Amino acid sequence: MRQGYSVVERKLVPTSEQSAFVTLFVNPDSQEKNYLTDTVGFDAHTLNSALDPDELPRLEFEPDHVAVIFKYPKSYSAADQYHLKVLSAGAFLKNGHLVIVTSEGFFLSEGMRVGQSESASSFLLWIMNRTVLHFREHLRVINMISDRLQDEINTAMENRQLINLFTLEKSMVYYLYAIQGNGAVLERLRHSAAKMSLTADEVEFLDDVNVENSQCFRQAEIYSNILTSLMDARASIVSNNLNVLMKTLNVIVIGLMVPTLVVSAFSMNVRIPLQSHPYAYWIVMGISILSVVSFLVFWRYKRW
């Protein structure tokens, strides 16, 4: 799918013009790929890298354009089962025009405010900044999901919540890898500012984005360490909850066995005491109740 955008009053406006300020290709088909490689002149390997979710973030300088491969978080859905994924995207700067290629839905949309974007390079820096903010939003959601899973684990007696937490912990590893890779790209962009003819304002903004990405990485690292360090403790909680349940069930079973023994003793098919007594039934029931009470008092005294 191909969509062109122009910037009007700091907002993205869709346009069908061939000279759109920004062109977004989402999951391009073979015809669109041929157009990008044969007509526009992008390298086929770099183009395929932008569609590969496992590709390393990097910055490449071609004779007539600049290619930036970076990572961004995929929008979460319930079908992902707590597995937050990271996707790759490619941003190509050529002749004052920016082309973005990705395999799935990107965060650009009609009416989105884009800030001060007077050139394709400044718009690229805005995209990198928006990617950092997107990661931070996902980290906030991960923290909320982690807290909710922890509350469920406190009363859980099965491994489902632990598996969800483990999946979340695995996702954090990919987030750390992606954020760190984007940080390397930002560092190289900073060192190549003169080569890319970035203005002083753009360099200052790039420094701010780099700082934001570093803070995002440290935040993700803290969340990942917390999830990892508490996994064993949370597994022990689930095991302890199961032990408490088994203890409660044992108390119930033993509590039922004591009156059952009394009733069974007085229901034997032989001569037994009180079998001719007019209140034999109530006496037997009273003994059964007394045995239950005695058992509970003994259990409480032992503090089992």
- We report the CATH number of the domain holding residue 90 as 3.30.460.20
Q: Are residues 139 and 187 in the same domain?
A: yes
Q: Are residues 91 and 173 in the same domain?
A: yes
pLDDT class of 301 with cuts at 50, 70, 90? confident
Give CA–CA dist 244/234, Å, rounded.
Answer: 15
Q: Are residues 141 and 251 in the same domain?
A: no
Give CA–CA dist 74/137, Å, rounded.
Answer: 12
pLDDT class of 239 with cuts at 50, 70, 90? confident
**Of 103, 105, 104, 98, which Cα lies nearest the Cα of 126?**
98
Q: Are residues 97 and 204 in the same domain?
A: yes
Does residue 105 register a pLDDT over 90?
A: no
Q: Are residues 145 and 191 in the same domain?
A: yes
Q: Are residues 95 and 171 in the same domain?
A: yes
**Of 101, 51, 70, 66, which Cα lies nearest the Cα of 177?**
70
Q: What is the pLDDT of residue 195?
A: 87
Q: Are residues 230 and 258 in the same domain?
A: no
pLDDT tens-digit map of 151-204: 777 666 667 777 777 888 888 888 999 999 999 999 999 998 888 888 888 899
Domain boundary among 203, 223, 241: 241
The mean pLDDT value for 210-238 works out to 82
Domain boundary among 216, 241, 266: 241
Q: Are residues 148 and 274 in the same domain?
A: no
Q: Are residues 291 and 249 in the same domain?
A: yes
The mean pLDDT value for 287-303 works out to 80
What is the rounded average pLDDT for all residues in the chain? 82
The mean pLDDT value for 30-40 works out to 86
Give the torsion sign (CA, 44, 45, 47, 53). Answer: positive
Q: What is the DSSP letter of 4?
A: E
Does residue 79 register a pLDDT over 70?
A: no
* Integer CA distances (angstroms), 45 to 24, 79, 159, in order: 18, 31, 43
Q: Are residues 288 and 237 in the same domain?
A: no
User: Domain containing 275: what range?
Assistant: 242-302
Q: Are residues 237 and 259 in the same domain?
A: no
- Looking at the structure of the chain, the number of domains it has is 2
Q: Which of 67-76, 237-246, 248-257 has the highest mean pLDDT?
A: 67-76
